[in-house]
Amino acid sequence: MRLSLLDWCLVLGAMATSVLIGAWAGRRSGRSSEEFFLTGRSMPWWLLGTSMVATTFSTDTPNLVTGLTRTHGIAGNWTWWAFLLTSMTTAFLFARLWRRSGVATDMAFYELRYSGRPAAFLRGFRGVYVGLLVNLLIMGAVTLAAIKFGSVLFGFKPILTVLVAGTATVIFTATGGLRGVIISDCFLFLLAMTGSIAAAVISVNQPAVGGLRALFENPSLKGSIAFIPSTADPSLFVTLILLPLLVQWWSVWYPGAEPGGGGFVAQRMLAARDERHSVGGLVLFNVAHYALRPWPWILVALSSLILFPDLASLRHAFPDVDPSVVNQDLGYAAMLTLLPHGWLGLVTASLVSAYLSTMSSLLNLGSSYGVNDLYLRFFRPQADEREKVRVGRLITVILMVLAGAVALCLKSAMQAFNILLSIGAGTGLLFFVRWYWPRVSAWSEISAMGFALTISLFLQFSPMAAALPDWIKLVGAVGLTTAGWVLVTLWMPPTRRDILEAFYRRVHPPGPLWRPIAIELGYAEAHAAETRRSRGNIVCVLTGCATVYSLLFSVGAFLRGSLELAGGLAGVVLISGAACAVYWRRAGIANERWDVLQPGSPESGGVTRSAAKSAGMEIAVPARESP
């Protein structure tokens, strides 16, 4: 199907609106690197949360969900639903700590927390590893999805899609900086949600599908509509739900769901107006990302199983599409060809918006690593603000070119997903523990990366491991990597004491292992109060997860026609949500905002205002209201 004039007007209008909003919002971005990469640390919670949802709402996400649903049914989405546990933990336990740190990037954390040459090496290496290699793989997967949509909807060759999409994205990103990205994300997210809902409504009402009730009663989908995978196949049950919920969420580093926070999530937390807005933005992201957004994609995926039940039917329907990109995830793009003109333009515009939003965030993040953690740290520490911005824009162009090359080499969104899971297996626990255990050093993280990569490659390609099930490979990689970095932590020298003390003065991490340092620095009472708050935050994590999961399946049960189940789950949403709010207030997050504990107050351990200034601490002000 080709787009009509009306469709093209909608697509081009959406792109022009996005660029104008970004250019208007980012008119201050060229003044300094902090404005360009962190918006001057002035963003409110609702903008941050919406921006994070928009960033993860990319062209590859509906493809990934479609591929999972077509392969394993609705329950196949537990592969990524389990990461709610990771993200909610980050929101309530680590968002405040990130904002207190005041670093420019999550890579700069390494030289704040660790000491010596290992810390500098880790910062530079991770800047290349995450900012270049991993970031390029993600952007390649996003661009691959654009290639598939471009092939089906426009008849574009892959290289043409890469050129058009890349040029528009680079102009958009380099002009507005992070402020332009975040503010335009609100428009892009609304447009993307409207398009996905429209696609779901039209797909479900196709004559061959017959409406919502007929969809869920279709005999061919009997094994695809369960929320929980069947125990009839134990290996599938373990792979789809037990492994993600028991092991994957805390042990695997995955972009966008990094244990403890990282990447664009950390960038948004660091750009927050204060700690309170940092937490609120991430909570909003969790609700929208996991509970509200998946169902339109799932409905389209289920409908596609009726019209295009297998790969052969997809190949037959689209003979002009490159056979190498015809996989289960093509089902989403296939369903869009059934949309009438006008609606087709709206949905296409929403996909273009999703692509712009995600790619602009990732390009800004990658250039931030390039400038702050490589160029400034190792090559030109004396660079002025305008030079930093110029270099950031140059890196943006280079990253886009490389991302296009990666996209031309990938085959499916699931392929990129599995690669990222495998290379991060076993490192996740370390990203939680480093905030609570002073003994963790730069050597811990260096060894964790080395063990994870070596063990994952061995388990993936060794003839000895070829016959092992995937879940055993993941558990093995997690166990061996975790044991390896723990032993290295105990064996290698710890972080210097002066670095640990400076880190504590700035971040105030809770927990009994930091208590000796807190007492020595005069923060005994403050540390006890912070540790009590962190215990209440654990309750917020549990009740927050219960709220989001209940909302997710309440919506699903309503769509499926199970009104009693939907009502019962809605009751759980109200109860668990209220409990989360109560504990949030009790933990001191909702009514108080402390960039650090206020100097001179009883809670601060008696630190004076002048002593606080000499230690580089900020003076905190109580907040008036919660987000």
Q: For residue 527, how far is the Cα from the chain centroid?
A: 31
Under 8 Å between Cβ of 45 and 207: no
For residue 353, pLDDT beyond 50: yes
Which carries the bigger pLDDT value, residue 417 or residue 606?
A: 417
Q: Which two tokens stand for residue 525?
A: 């009472």
What pLDDT, on the 0 to 100 scale, is given for residue 621? 33
CA atoms within 13 A on the CB side of 592: 13
What pLDDT, on the 0 to 100 scale, is given for residue 410? 67
pLDDT tens sequence across 356-406: 778 888 888 888 888 888 888 888 888 887 788 888 888 888 888 888 888
What pLDDT, on the 0 to 100 scale, is given for residue 607? 37
pLDDT tens sequence across 552-587: 999 999 998 899 999 999 999 999 999 998 888 776
pLDDT tens sequence across 475-527: 888 888 899 999 999 999 999 999 999 999 999 999 999 999 999 998 988 89
pLDDT over 70, % of the chain: 86
Which carries the bigger pLDDT value, residue 441 or residue 363?
A: 441
Question: What predicted TM-score, i.e. pTM, was given to this entire model?
Answer: 0.84
Q: Where are the alpha helices (DSSP H) in 462-523?
A: 470-491, 497-507, 515-521
Give whichever of 528-537, 543-552, 582-591 has the largest mean pLDDT. Answer: 543-552
Rounded to whole angstroms, how far apart are CA atoms 416 and 409? 11
Q: What is the mean pLDDT of the segment spanning 65-86?
A: 91
pLDDT tens sequence across 47-62: 999 888 888 877 677 8
Burial class (CB in 10 A: 0-12, 13-18, 19+), 374: buried
Q: Extract long-range pairs of 122-125: CB within 8 Å, 24+ residues apart.
A: 122/442, 122/445, 122/446, 123/373, 123/377, 124/373, 124/374, 124/377, 124/378, 125/446, 125/449
φ, ψ for residue 619, nearest 5 deg: -95, 125
Lowest pLDDT segment from 82-91, 233-242, 353-362, 585-594: 585-594
Q: Which two tokens stand for residue 306?
A: 């009726």
| C-alpha dihedral, 568 to 573 to 578 to 583, nearest 10° | 120
Rounded to whole angstroms, how far apart are CA atoms 47 and 43? 7
For residue 608, pLDDT beyond 70: no
Rounded to whole angstroms, how far apart are CA atoms 21 and 19? 6
The DSSP H or E segment spanning 87 is helix 83-89
Q: How many CB atoms lie within 10 A of CB 175?
A: 17
For residue 591, pLDDT beyond 60: no
For residue 203, pLDDT beyond 60: yes
Under 8 Å between Cβ of 322 and 158: yes
